[in-house]
Structure 1
């Protein structure tokens, strides 16, 4: 039973790390990446659709994103969605493709992005600690329900703490890489 609780905690912490990585991938860092558009959803024939499902996204140059809709009638809707997004980019279209020029980041913008990265990282750490707390609560509840010894409870809590520490170190490494990427001119 304890192993199952720890396994579930591992799974949840791993998912939390994956969410962090997706979140950071969608933040602009001075160079174009298709992941920047992951959060953008387009109103297409009356339904909200992720941009990646109605167009191909490529990076012909390091600071240019090219969006080629499979249906040419979707160009206006894609442009509208990009303008409404928090990316702050101006789409240019030639009737068949949309190009997004990713501007060079100013020092101030870089620092603001790093602040956002740190905030996102801290929220991730809080989520991981919350998973640890829930897991410890479940283990303590097991103690009351069954005949698990105090030593087994202690060992399980230490195991969960060790895993939590490892995941938090992983978050720190991910944040460090992203900060370095953003601050590199």
Structure 2
């Protein structure tokens, strides 16, 4: 194993951290209907808890309305209850085998809460990135102790680790700014 291998492995881990962050912030309400809002909803179905997407299709009806098509008619009430109890501030309305979920406009206070939540997720993501950088540096130092790489390679590897971290932190900051803009947009 050399510095390049360690760097590539760390870069993959950092990319996964960014993807996880993107998934986290996708579920934060922005005032517009998006199917990601219901990703965390779990429905009590057939004696077990399962994600909403396993009991029906979720689609966007219009900019302020989601439409959930439940596959099993007997699951409509349970699905409606799960959406209501998901603490998203949504009020679903059953219509036959489908459920309409109106997305109410966000209050200024609620928008600020969501901005704080976005920043918290961003900071958690940055901590994860820093941990990956630390692991990368430790692996590089271990390789140097084993005489597998030179001191110059170690220094180059540390610089690569810092460069990777800065690149991915910049990406997180851009995603945070973009999400904040979406949230604060009236």
Superposed pair shares fold, TM > 0.5: yes
- Counterpart position of 2:174: 173
CA RMSD of aligned residues (A): 1.0
Gaps of 5+ in 1: none
The equivalences for 1:36-115 within 5 A come to 36-115=37-116
Detail structure 1 runs of 4+ shifted over 4 Å in the superposition. Answer: none
**Residues paired across the two proteins, number:** 185
Partner SS state of residue 87, structure 2: coil
Paired with 2:152 and 2:34, the residues of 1 have a C-alpha distance of 50
Paired with 2:68 and 2:125, the residues of 1 have a C-alpha distance of 31
The equivalences for 1:26-37 within 5 A come to 26-37=27-38
Shift of 1:105: 0.6
TM-score by length of 2: 0.96
- Counterpart position of 2:4: 3
Paired with 2:120 and 2:15, the residues of 1 have a C-alpha distance of 19
Paired with 1:57 and 1:147, the residues of 2 have a C-alpha distance of 53
Partner SS state of residue 52, structure 1: helix
Paired with 2:97 and 2:70, the residues of 1 have a C-alpha distance of 8
TM-score by length of 1: 0.96
Partner SS state of residue 67, structure 2: strand
- Counterpart position of 1:158: 159
- Counterpart position of 1:24: 25
**Preserved contact between residue 45 and residue 78 of structure 2 (Cα < 8 Å):** yes
Shift of 1:47: 2.4
Partner SS state of residue 91, structure 1: strand
After superposition, the C-alpha distances for 1:95-153 in whole angstroms (9 at most, x for unaligned) are 22111111111111111110111111011111101100011011111111124211100
- Counterpart position of 2:140: 139
Gaps of 5+ in 2: none
